[in-house]
Amino acid sequence: MRTSLTPGQNQTSTEPAGFADNGDPRAHILALLSGTWKFTALHAFVDLRCADHLQSGPLTIEELADRCQADPTSLGRLLRTAAALHLVATVRPGTYALTDAGTLLCTTSMDSMRPGVVVMGEPTSWEAMGTLAQTVRTGTSPIAAAHGSLYEYYHRRPELLQAFEAWMTSRSRAFAESLVAAHDFTGVRTVADVGGGNGTILAAILEAHPQTSGILFELDQVLPGAKSYLTSRGIAERCDLVAGDFFTAVPAGADVYVLANVVHNWDDEDALRILRAVRDAMTGGSRALFLDYLLPDDDQPHFGKFMDMRMLALFGGGRERTHAEYLALLDRAGLRADHITALPVGAGLIQASRLPD
- Is position 264 annotated as part of the catalytic site? yes
From the number of C-beta atoms within 10 Å of its C-beta (0-12, 13-18, 19+), residue 295 rates as buried
From the number of C-beta atoms within 10 Å of its C-beta (0-12, 13-18, 19+), residue 109 rates as middle
Please report the DSSP string for 17-57 in residue order: TTTS-SS-HHHHHHHHHHHHHHHHHHHHHHHTTHHHHHTTS
Of 86, 264, 323, 339, the catalytic one is 264
Distance, CA of 291 to CA of 177 (rounded, Å):
12
Low-confidence ranges of the chain (pLDDT < 70): 1-22
CB 272 within 8 A of CB 333: yes
3-state secondary structure of 316: coil
Please report the pLDDT score of residue 347 as a whole number.
93
Instruction: Please give the angle made by the CA atoms of 311, 315 and 318, to the nearest 5 degrees.
Output: 65
Q: Which of 334, 322, 324 is nearest to 277 (CA)?
A: 334
User: Which residues, other chains included, contact 223 with Cβ-Cβ below 8 Å and sequence gap of 6+?
Assistant: 216, 241, 243
CB 90 within 8 A of CB 96: yes
Distance, CA of 176 to CA of 280 (rounded, Å):
25
pLDDT in tens, 81-110: 999 999 999 999 999 999 999 999 999 998
Distance, CA of 107 to CA of 101 (rounded, Å):
13
CB 291 within 8 A of CB 259: yes
CB 275 within 8 A of CB 327: no
CA diameter of the chain: 71
- DSSP H or E stretch at residue 252: none
- Residue 89 bridge partners (DSSP): 97
Tell me the residue ranges of DSSP E strands in 135-249. Answer: 190-194, 213-218, 239-243
Distance, CA of 290 to CA of 194 (rounded, Å):
10
Please report the pLDDT score of residue 2 as a whole number.
54
Exposure pattern of 245-277 as b/e (b: 16+ CB <10 Å)?
ebeeebbeebbbbbbbbbbbbbeeeebbbbbbb
Please report the pLDDT score of residue 20 as a whole number.
52
pLDDT in tens, 71-82: 999 999 999 999
CB 191 within 8 A of CB 202: yes
Please report the pLDDT score of residue 351 as a whole number.
98
% of the chain surpassing 90 pLDDT: 83
Please report the pLDDT score of residue 12 as a whole number.
43
Distance, CA of 81 to CA of 36 (rounded, Å):
13
Amino acid at 192: A
Distance, CA of 104 to CA of 113 (rounded, Å):
6
